[in-house]
Amino acid sequence: MKITGIELRRIAMPLRAPFRTSFGVETARDILLLRVVTPEAEGWGECVAMSDPLYNSEYVDGAVDVLKRFFIPALPERVDALSVKRALKPFKGHKMAKAALETGVLDAQLRTAGQSFGSFLGASRDRVPCGVSVGIMDSIPQLLESVGEFVDEGYVRIKLKIEPGWDLAPVRAVRERFGDDLLLQVDANAAYTLADARQLAKLDAFDLLLIEQPLADDDLVQHAQLAKQMRTPICLDESIESVEDAAAAITLGSASIINIKPGRVGGYLEAKAIHDLCVAHGVPVWCGGMLETGLGRAANVALAALPGFILPGDTSASRRYYATDITTPFELADGHLDVPTGPGLGIDPIVDILDSVTTSSEWIKF
């Protein structure tokens, strides 16, 4: 394809409720969207970087800068998603900015070809089971009320954010209130060290699906040591930024489950490669989320329909985070979301809503 131009659009999306993790509290999302325009189609990419470099080193202003100064000028005259990946490979880091650009090009490419994201990636299902991530609360009664609402809505799996001082008690309370049949897992977002191994091992009593990213993101060795001291499976998130990282984690025994977030690994082509590697080694994967709008959610749901995604992901319904989404909202039905079947993402922004939440827009002409 030949690109006519790319729009960088910033939008402000207030969350329905504050979302607290071990590294901070979010009350709103400052989101960068890319609109890739060709003579045949328009494609959308959503950058999942946060406003501040807390989840990882990336942040929205940095993504805008690297896209304008380096990534967009590096694109070849005629592009597809694979050529974008090749053109950006020499640049270090900035995986979320790379993913947004690659996704926008891929969306335009697939819309032109009349092919859906799910078909392109190799989806084997038309709907995916959905879990929900529950942030750290001010009290256990507040947590139980929130979890109860999500269970009543039909979510098939609950994930609790934990940190030192907020781990055993909330997990015990949720397990006691909702019983052993509830699929339950926890996410530490790298809040612990190996010195906490004895405390973390106490989580084994609660029959969890997994503990996600308990230790530092740059330490596969200590995760492997922790895995020997726990029965609960260890899942890696922030540690996995490429298929090479996934291969190292599997070889070392650092993880027996991997969370695949396309933004974190640089795009859906790399996400698919990690999926294929894990399937070849018998390692289950699931699709994580970064509080995406309907645009990012559509692509994630398509990815989560691949055969290796055997655990429910954080592909929650739109209303989990946003009172009003910028697309037709994803609605939960029997604990599942339908995989879009239209060309590309299979979903478009609603222009009036998108305009109402836009804070800035810049057009880069080719």
**Residue 247 tokens, joined:** 């291969």
Does the annotation count 228 as an active-site position? no
**Residues 146, 148, 153, 159: is their CA dihedral positive or negative?**
positive
Active-site residue, from 98, 159, 161, 272: 161
Rounded Cα–Cα distance for residues 219 and 61 (Å): 28
Per the residue annotation, which of 2, 261, 272, 365 is the catalytic one?
261
Catalytic annotation present for 92: no
Distance CA 175, CA 186 (A): 12
Can you point out the beta strands (E) in the chain? 5-21, 24-37, 42-47, 127-129, 131-134, 157-161, 183-187, 211-212, 234-236, 257-260, 285-287, 336-338, 358-365
d(CA 172, CA 205): 9
Euclidean distance between CA atoms 142 and 158, whole angstroms: 15
The residues assigned a catalytic role are 161, 261
